[in-house]
Chain A
Amino acid sequence: MSGNSKLNIRRRNLLQGGLVLGASQIASPFIMTARAEDTIKIGWDNPLTGTYAAPGKNELIGAKLALEEINAKGGIAGRKVEIIVEDSTSGDAGTAVQKARKLIDKDKVNFLIGNVNSALAIAMAQVSNEKGILHIVPGGHSDTMTGATCHWNVFRVCNTTQMEANAIAPTLIKTYGKKWYYITPDYAFGHALQSGMEKACTALGGTKIGGDLTPLGTTDFSSYLIKAQSANPDVIIFLVQGDDMVNALKQAVQFGLDKKVHLAGAQQELENLKGLPPEARVGNWVMEWYFDQPNVPHVADFNAKVVKASGYVPTSRTWFGYVGIWTCALAAAGAKSIDAAKMAKALQDFHLPPEIALCPDGAFYRAGQNQLISNLYVGKARVKGVKGPDDLFEVTSVVKGADVAGTLEESGCKMTWPA
C-alpha cells in the first residue's frame, strides 16, 4: 500500500519538475545574446582540469595572446574574433566529443581547436571531419593523426613522436652509448614513441637490451628502475609523460641511478621540470620549443608578452596554443574565405611568418599530411635556472624538423578531399 502510492506521479510534482528543467536551461541563451552575431568564433575544446590541466592552461595563455593580436590587426575577414572555451577534461572522451558537437552545432564555431590528449584529439577529429570544420590540434602527439588516420581538415602544430625520437637518438648514441633500456607508458602514444626510438636507435647501430611497459598512472616506479639498473644499460630511456615522468625521475634520483647510468628520453616539457625537486632535474631530452632563443627575432617580444599576461615564461605549450589560433587567421587570409575546404587548401605547404614561427628555420604545414614542420631543441635539464628561475633546460643543438620528419609516404597518410 504505502509502496504503491509512491509510484503515483502527481501532476504538480511534474509541473514543478518541468519548471526546474526549463529554468536550468534558460541560463544559457543569455550568453548567446551576449555574443555578437557577426564575430568569427573559434571553439576551444582542451583540458582545464585533470592530469593535463597544466599544459592545457598554458596552451590557452598562448591562444589568448594570439587572439588579442589578431583582433588588434582587424580580426579575421574584417570580423572580430572570439574564442569559446570549453573544458574537455583530461581523459573523458565522451565529454570532449560532446563539447565538440556543442561548439559546432550550438555555438556555430568556424574553427575547432584541441586536444592535448591525442586520444581525445582523434575522437574530436572524427566529429570535425564529419561536420567539415577546420580543426587545429595544438598539442596531441600520436603519429596517426597526421598519418594513417589523417583528415583533410585536421592540422597539427606539435611534432609526431617519430620526429622527437629521430631528433634525439644521434646525440644519445654518440655521447652516452648504444645499449638502451626503455621505460615506456603502456598506451598508444608510448608504444609509438618507443618504436620510433627503437627504429632511430637501430639505424645508428644501437640495441635495445630491455624495457618495461608501465601502466599509465603508475605511482611507484621502483621495481622498473631496479630491473633497468640490473640490465646494465648505457642509457635508460624514459618515455613516460606528465605526472608519471615526475614520479619516475624523482624515484630514479633517490635510487642514485643518475650517478650510475645515463638518464634520458624523448619528449620533455618545462611544466614537468618545474614540478621536480632540483636534484631530479637531470637527463637529455627534446623540447619542441624553447623560450631562450636570443638570436631568433621576435622571440624576446613574445616572451615579454607572455610573462606580462601570465607571470611565467612561455613553454612549448604556450607556443602551440599561440600558433594554433594564428593558423586560423592565416588560413582565412590565405584563402580569402572562411570556407573550411578553401582554408585547408591554402594551408598546404603554408609557411608561417617569422613572428609566429619563432624558430630559427621557420615552420610550415607540410602538404598532403597537414603536419607542422618546425625546429626541435635537443639538450639537457638543469638543476637551477640561469636566465631566471624557469630556465631549466640547456639547448645543445637545434634540429631542423624537415631532417627528422621522414617522407610523406612513411607517414602513411592518404589524404582524401571532399568532392
Chain B
Amino acid sequence: MNNSLKQPANIVVWVVLLTMPYWMGFVGGYTELATRILVMALGAMALNFLLGFTGVLSFGHAAFFGLGAYGAAMTIKYIAPSSMLALFIGVLVGAIAGALIGALIVKRRGVYFAMTTIAFGQVFYFIAFRWNTVTGGDDGLNGWHREPINLGFTQLDIYHNPMLFYYFVLVIFAVSVGIMALLLNSPFGRTLLAIRENERRARFLGIEIERHIWMSFMVSCVFMALAGGLYALLNNFTDPRALRFDLSGNFVIMAVMGGMRSFWGPLVGAAIFVALQDVVSSHTENWMSVIGVVFVLVVLFFPRGILGLTRKANNS
C-alpha cells in the first residue's frame, strides 16, 4: 500500500482545485466553467462509486442528477428561498427514487442492468417533460435563482459572486468526496470491491450481494442528486435535458476516460470532457461528431482511461 504516495497526490488535486478560479482565466476558461467542472466531476465520481468500485453499470444515472436538480429548483421556486434546503430536498428526492428503482433492478447484471436503468431513467425524463404545470415542461423551470446563504454572523452572497459560489461548491464537493473515500476504505467498501472482482466467490463467502449492490446504488444516487442540485443552482434554471439519457452517457464516458478504477479518474475525465465540449462547440457546429469520435477513440484505445494508462506503465 503506497500510503506515502497517496498524500502528495491528494495535495496536488486539492491545490489545483483550490486555485482553479485564479488560473482558469489564463488558460482561456472562466469561473462558471470551473464550477461546472466541479459539479460534473462530483456526478462522475458518484457514478463511479457504482461503476468503478462495485462493477455495476448504470446507464440511467442522469435521472437522479435531474431529480436532484428539479428537487432543488422546485424547493426554491415553490417552498422556501433557501439554497441549503433546496440541496437537501434534491438529495432526498434522488435518494427515494434510487431506493425504489434500485430495489426493482438489483437482481439484474451486466447489459441487462444497464438497459433497465436506461429505460427507468427515461420515466423521469418524460414526467419532467410532460407535466407542464409543475415542472414547466420543455420550457424548464425558471423564474427563481440560488439564494445567499445566511450563516448567522454573516451572509455568503453566492448569487452575485460567482467566485464565492465556486468555493461553496468546492466545500460540498470536498465533503462528498471525503465521505465516498471513507466508505470505500471501510469494510463496506472492501465488500463492494470483492463483489466487483468476483461476484460468485463473494456469494460463496456469504456476502449478501443484492443488498450491497442496492446500498452502493443508493450512495451513488445520493451524491448524483447532490451534483444535480448544485447544477440547478449553478444555472439558476433546470429543464428536462438534465435527466435525459445523453447525459447519463456523458457521465459514463467521463468516468471511463479519466480511469474508472482510480479514485480521481472521473475528476480528470470530467475536466477534460467539460472543457473539450466547451471549446469544441465554440469552434464547430459539428461538435457532436467530435464528441462521438472521442467516445469511439476512448473505447478502442484508452479503455482504462488516462489514469489507468499511467498505472499500467507504473506497474510494468
Contacts and interface: CB of A to CB of B under 8 A. Distances in A.
Nearest to B139: A119
B310 A8 contact: no
Contacts of A4: 1, 185, 190, 193
B32 A98 contact: yes
Contact of B139 (A11, A17, A32, A188): A188
Interface string A18-41: 101110111111011000000000
Interface string B261-274: 11110001001100
Contacts of B282: 28, 31, 84-86, 102
Interface stretch (B5-13, B77-85, B216-224): B5-13
A91 B241 contact: yes
A87 B281 contact: yes
Contacts of B137: 186-188, 216
A341 interface: no
Interface residues of B, number: 75
B120 interface: no
Interface in A161-213: 186-189, 191
Contacts of A86: 281-282
Contacts of A92: 239, 241
B235 interface: yes
Nearest to A118: B139
B279 interface: yes
Nearest to B184: A7
Given A16-B306, A94-B235, A97-B237, A119 B140 contact: yes
A4 B235 CA distance: 37
Given A28-B27, A94-B231, A20 B32 contact: no
A241 to B, nearest CB: 11
Nearest to A97: B235
A4 to B, nearest CB: 6
B65 to A, nearest CB: 11
B16 A18 contact: yes
Given A17-B306, A188-B137, A93 B28 contact: no
Given A8-B1, A102-B33, A93 B239 contact: yes
A187 B36 contact: no
A2 B13 CA distance: 24
Q: Which of B8, B142, B196, B238 has the largest number of chain A CB atoms within 10 A? A: B142
Contact of A32 (B28, B145, B237, B241): B28
Interface of B: 1-3, 5-6, 8-10, 12-13, 16, 24-33, 36, 129-130, 132, 136-140, 142-143, 145, 181, 184-185, 189-190, 193-194, 196-197, 231, 235-242, 258-259, 261-264, 268, 271-272, 275-276, 278-279, 281-283, 285, 287-288, 306-307, 310-311, 314
Interface of A: 2-18, 20-22, 24-29, 31-32, 48-49, 84-87, 91-95, 97-99, 101-102, 105-106, 118-119, 122-123, 126, 142, 149, 186-189, 191, 215-216
6 contacts: A3-B193, A6-B263, A7-B6, A7-B263, A17-B264, A97-B235
